[in-house]
Amino acid sequence: MRDVDQACQPIMPTCSLCSRLIPNFENWLHIDRNNPDKFTYDGVVSRGIGFNCSRDPIETPRINSEGQTILQGTFLAYLWSFVYFTVIFDEEGHQQFPTNRKHEVHIIEQKGNARLERAAALLCWAISLKKRYSDWPQEYPKPTDKLESDDYIEMANRLFIDAAVFIMLHEVGHAVGKHYPSSLAVRRKKKLSKGDIASTIRMEYEADQFAIDQMIHRFRAGCKTS
């Protein structure tokens, strides 16, 4: 893990959170205590976690043919940026006013808010990673920054870890549901039928439900996270 941190941190500071992310993910799975670097889930996921620190556009997490969960540094940067922007926007970027309509929220832009503007700039950079890789701009917020007086960085770090764990559990759900052979066949098609689309949606719902069930079960059992 230390090698991963040192290799990725210069280009993607989110790798500094890997030492916190991995134990949280392992909390949801059956760990081989004799070999803590590996874990198993019903014999499907068994090769631990691999990190892709290449300078490539975003690739979402996946479980390869050997049962190894692959995380890409670029994707983790995108996820943290989105979470950080959400935190800042929720705390400083909008105001809620009571109205006659239930649950109605008025969104108020706050121009001149430097922190909100920097968070928005970070998010724009992260979105650009979908098409082309670029290193994390040093002038933008990052998870390795010293904690701000209002703890927005640590708040984002904690939410990022929970979000990443859910996404990884989603991928485990695909593996447990044996979705990969059929999903790979669908991806190879140039034109999708209505049945292909329906099947893809069903598999995504099943993977989401697996992740939700796992997290709810562990929370009820008192599993510590973050």
Question: Looking at the predicted structure, is the pLDDT value of residue 107 above 70?
Answer: no
pLDDT of residue 163: 93
Average pLDDT, the chain: 76
Express each pLDDT in 205-221 by its tens digit: 998 998 898 888 777 77
- What is the rounded CA–CA span in Å between residue 125 and residue 151? 23
Express each pLDDT in 164-202 by its tens digit: 989 988 888 888 887 766 555 556 666 777 887 888 888
Higher pLDDT, 118 or 108: 118
Express each pLDDT in 7-56 by its tens digit: 455 457 887 887 788 777 777 665 544 554 555 555 555 556 778 888 89
pLDDT of residue 196: 75
pLDDT of residue 5: 45
Tell me which of 63-72, 91-100, 128-137, 150-159 is least confident: 91-100
pLDDT of residue 190: 64
Name the band, by pLDDT with cuts 50, 70 and 90, for residue 115: confident
pLDDT of residue 161: 92
Tell me which of 97-111, 114-128, 148-162 is least confident: 97-111
Question: Looking at the predicted structure, is the pLDDT value of residue 2 above 50?
Answer: no
Higher pLDDT, 107 or 197: 197
Express each pLDDT in 50-98 by its tens digit: 788 888 999 888 877 676 778 888 999 999 999 999 999 888 876 544 4
Q: What is the pTM of this model?
A: 0.77
